[in-house]
Amino acid sequence: MAHPDPVAAPSEAADPAASDAGVRLRWHRRVRERARANRAADLVWRASVLGLGSAVIVAGLIMLVVPGPGWAAIFVGLAILASEYAWAHNLLSRAKEWAQRARDRATDPAVRRRNLALTSLAAVAVLAVGAWYLVEYGPTLDGPRDWFASVG
């Protein structure tokens, strides 16, 4: 079952770019309504949307492991599926809310201060270990020569 389109067509009194977007949106709706009128065309349309959306989501999942915009591809795949399926529209809405909460947490001043303090503490620890190494062994990368003998 398809959900109602949440995007309303812009008014003709709006700027030309918005009315051009409205024309394209109306064109898409006309094509979709023609496909709905024919049972076979509707089945092909829905299968195409399902195939394309699923392929984009799978590509996004792969890009979570390999370099690429994985989360962006997953959201685009959900948006493709949401154009036809109500379950995907609901899932996309929940994903948007989750992303909004994550953004709010990341930009929270208290969290930023905590992260800055932890990063500063880690930097001081690395500098202290580096200073100890320089004092103990000098500016060489040889390290203690008898360390390997004591390990084995």
Q: What is the pLDDT of residues 67-111, one digit of tens each?
A: 889 889 999 999 999 888 888 899 989 988 988 988 888 788 888
Over its C-alpha atoms, the chain yields an Rg (Å, rounded) of 28
Instruction: Tell whether 120 and 147 lie within a shared domain.
Output: yes
Instruction: Tell whether 48 and 117 lie within a shared domain.
Output: no
Instruction: Tell whether 64 and 123 lie within a shared domain.
Output: no
Instruction: Tell whether 96 and 123 lie within a shared domain.
Output: no
The total number of structural domains in the chain stands at 2
In a domain, 73, yes or no: yes
Instruction: Tell whether 102 and 144 lie within a shared domain.
Output: no
In a domain, 117, yes or no: yes
Predicted TM-score (pTM) above 0.75? no
Instruction: Tell whether 94 and 45 lie within a shared domain.
Output: yes
Closest Cα partner for 21 from 32, 35, 7?
7
In a domain, 6, yes or no: no
The whole domain housing 142 covers: 109-151
Asked if residue 7 has pLDDT above 50, the reply is: no
9 pLDDT band, cuts 50/70/90, is: very low
Place of tokens 């909460």: 101
Instruction: Tell whether 31 and 92 lie within a shared domain.
Output: yes
Note the pLDDT of residue 8.
46
Instruction: Tell whether 25 and 51 lie within a shared domain.
Output: yes
In a domain, 131, yes or no: yes
In a domain, 36, yes or no: yes
In a domain, 7, yes or no: no
Least confident of 28-37, 61-70, 108-117: 28-37
Closest Cα partner for 5 from 77, 93, 88, 83?
83
